[in-house]
């Protein structure tokens, strides 16, 4: 990860810190224990338990490094700093998908905490970037692979 600042909400920052703490305090010990047990099975050259544990250890350490960089370069978006009159990172925005006549609520977040399953969309995603800077009543058109979708900003929470 480079030294570019990481935009993140207070909620997202807390999640990152909690995961980092868990990985360092518990997961490392758990994986080290699995490696120790797998070594006791004998020849490690053909020991699938050992190989799996070492793979998990590498993945855990890589995740720790990634999370430490997020914490190190975090630029926190505080709830009190979020303007309710204009869509920005940290905003929750209710939009009307005009092509389907359906309302959706999205949280606009930095790319590190985007999760479409939780309706958290990145500020650099097509919909997120189109919504940034818009006000209630504004209509946007977003290019998607199937064509274009039209959204109307209904509310900013």
User: Which pLDDT does position 49 carry in this prediction?
Assistant: 86
User: E strands of 24-119, at which residues?
Assistant: 74-77, 92-97, 102-109
Check which CATH number belongs to the domain holding 131 and give it. 3.10.50.30
Q: Which domain holds residue 90?
A: 82-156
Would 40 be classed as within a structural domain?
yes
Q: Which of 57, 77, 97 is the last residue of a domain?
A: 77
Same domain, 66 and 121: no
Same domain, 97 and 116: yes
Digit-coded pLDDT (tens) for 38-76 = 888 777 777 788 889 999 999 999 999 999 999 999 999
For residue 141, the Cα-to-chain-centroid distance in whole angstroms is: 25
Q: Which of 40, 59, 77 is the last residue of a domain?
A: 77
Q: What's the CA gap between 58 and 55, in Å, rounded?
A: 5
User: Which pLDDT does position 16 carry in this prediction?
Assistant: 96
Same domain, 88 and 152: yes
Would 26 be classed as within a structural domain?
yes
Instruction: pLDDT band for 3, please (50, 70, 90 cuts).
Output: low
As a residue count, the chain comes to 157
Digit-coded pLDDT (tens) for 91-133 = 999 999 999 999 999 999 999 999 999 999 999 999 999 999 9
Q: Model's pTM, two decimal places?
A: 0.79
Q: What's the CA gap between 54 and 16, in Å, rounded?
A: 24
């Amino acid at each position: 990860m480079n030294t570019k600042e990481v935009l993140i909400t207070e909620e997202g920052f807390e999640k990152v810190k909690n995961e980092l703490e868990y990985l360092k305090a518990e997961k490392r010990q758990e994986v080290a224990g699995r490696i120790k047990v797998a070594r006791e099975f004998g020849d490690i050259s053909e020991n699938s338990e050992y190989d799996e544990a070492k793979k998990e250890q590498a993945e855990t350490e890589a995740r720790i490094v990634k999370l430490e960089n997020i914490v190190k370069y975090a630029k926190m978006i505080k709830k009190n700093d979020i303007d309710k009159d204009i869509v920005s990172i940290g905003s929750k925005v209710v939009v009307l998908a005009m092509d389907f006549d359906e309302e959706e609520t999205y949280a606009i977040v930095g790319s590190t905490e985007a999760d479409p399953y939780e309706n958290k969309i990145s500020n650099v995603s097509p919909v997120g970037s189109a919504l940034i800077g818009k006000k209630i009543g504004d209509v946007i058109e977003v290019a998607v692979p199937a064509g274009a979708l039209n959204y109307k900003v209904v509310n900013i929470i």
